[in-house]
């Protein structure tokens, strides 16, 4: 049974409620900070009790195993969301929705974030994964990244925030990013909105937005398109339990209802094996897979 031991620190929190795929076992401890000071408090809490630590955003690119997550989960989401515009820069905390920051930029006639309008999830996750779509990504826009640890804080400037395709320095650094400053370019508002509307319509037509999913399941292999490979392998609509390869876009695994993380993981393994056997292509997950195999 869920039990509150601090105002926003909860025990045995069901991670299916914190992920867009809607699967996953409980987190031992779950915390939603409202400030950088809250984050440091939580980090010290984990440090003093020698708890493993996991940081997530809105859980839109996340698969939590059915055994849940050991230790403390810190979720940077709507309780830690604030943004402001200064000239051609946007300063935003990492609990901001990525798409909302894109809309804020458009409102102020700033160009560079149009591609992000339909990307779900938070700004922190976008920085962690160097998220992007339609030939755009966040890495080139980053001017500053502010971070904390249990006992320290700091700022990386443009050359220090290194990134590549679906990778950033944050994946190797033992810090939690709190906010960022993005450098954009002044643009024509009508042109910006027109581009955003076009991208939104493309997503609605091509992606299974009507079902729970974790977005694109696999990274794009060089020289190939994942959805096309899966469709050519006659796997469209293939399902295991409640997990199914979307019939609308084969690059997505959806939860048709009642799926477990085990269903999704078995389906991922099956896709990887079939594509490797038929095309000699090794598919690597783009979604982040975390947690215990089984409850203790």
Which region among 6-15, 118-127, 195-204, 257-266 has the lowest average model confidence (pLDDT)? 6-15
CA angle 253, 255, 260 (to 5 degrees): 105
Q: Is the pLDDT of residue 143 over 70?
A: yes
Q: Is 65 a catalytic residue?
A: no
Strands 53-56 and 69-75: parallel
C-alpha distances out from residue 174 to 56, 148, 268, Å: 14, 9, 29
Q: Residue holding tokens 């493309």?
A: 202
Which domains can be identified in the chain, with CATH numbers? 3-78 (3.30.43.10), 81-192 (3.30.465.10), 208-290 (3.90.78.10)
Q: Residue holding tokens 């700091």?
A: 154
By C-alpha distance, which of 166, 172, 5 is closest to 72? 5
Options 102, 168, 216, 246, the catalytic residue: 216
Q: How far is the C-alpha of 126 from the C-alpha of 288, rounded, in Å? A: 13
Q: Is the pLDDT of residue 165 over 90?
A: no
Q: Is 48 a catalytic residue?
A: no
State the pTM of this model: 0.90
State CA 156 to chain mean position distance: 21
Per the CB < 8 A criterion, the answer to whether 52 and 70 are in contact is yes
Rg (CA), the chain: 19
Widest pairwise Cα distance in the chain: 56
Q: Is 202 a catalytic residue?
A: no
Q: Is the pLDDT of residue 1 over 50?
A: no
Q: What is the pLDDT of residues 65-118, one digit of tens each?
A: 999 999 999 999 999 999 999 999 999 999 999 999 999 999 999 999 999 998
Options 65, 166, 168, 246, the catalytic residue: 166
Q: What is the pLDDT of residues 223-279, one digit of tens each?
A: 999 999 999 999 999 999 999 999 999 999 999 999 999 999 999 999 999 999 999
Q: Is the pLDDT of residue 119 over 50?
A: yes
What pLDDT does 11 receive? 95
CA angle 286, 155, 165 (to 5 degrees): 20
Cross-strand pairs, 90? 85, 182
Q: What is the pLDDT of residues 19-74, one digit of tens each?
A: 999 999 999 999 999 999 999 999 999 999 999 999 999 999 999 999 999 999 99
């Amino acid at each position: 049974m869920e039990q509150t031991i601090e105002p926003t620190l909860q025990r045995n929190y069901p991670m299916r409620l914190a992920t867009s795929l809607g699967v996953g076992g409980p987190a031992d401890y779950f915390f939603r900070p409202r400030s950088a000071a809250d984050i440091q408090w939580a980090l010290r809490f984990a440090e003093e009790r020698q708890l493993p630590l996991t940081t997530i955003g809105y859980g839109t690119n996340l698969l939590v195993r059915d055994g849940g997550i050991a230790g403390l989960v810190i979720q940077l989401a709507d309780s830690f969301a604030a943004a402001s515009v200064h000239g051609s820069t946007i300063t935003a905390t990492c609990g901001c929705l990525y798409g909302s920051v894109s809309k804020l930029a458009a409102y102020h006639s700033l160009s560079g974030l149009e591609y992000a309008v339909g990307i779900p999830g938070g700004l922190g996750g976008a920085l962690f994964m160097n998220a992007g779509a339609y030939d755009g990504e966040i890495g080139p826009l980053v001017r500053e990244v502010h971070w904390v640890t249990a006992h320290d804080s700091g700022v990386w400037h443009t050359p220090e925030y290194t990134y590549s395709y679906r990778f950033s320095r944050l994946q190797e650094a033992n810090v939690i990013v709190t906010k960022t400053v993005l450098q954009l370019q002044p643009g024509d508002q009508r042109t910006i909105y027109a581009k955003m509307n076009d991208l939104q319509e493309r997503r609605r037509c091509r992606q299974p937005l009507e079902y729970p999913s974790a977005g694109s399941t696999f990274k794009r292999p060089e020289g190939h398109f994942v959805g096309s490979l899966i469709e050519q392998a006659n796997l469209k609509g293939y399902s295991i339990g409640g997990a199914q390869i979307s019939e609308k876009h084969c690059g997505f695994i959806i939860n048709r209802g009642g799926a477990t993380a085990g269903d999704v993981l078995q389906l991922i393994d099956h896709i990887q094996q079939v594509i490797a056997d038929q095309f000699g292509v090794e598919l690597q997950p783009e979604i982040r897979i975390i947690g215990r195999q089984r409850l203790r």
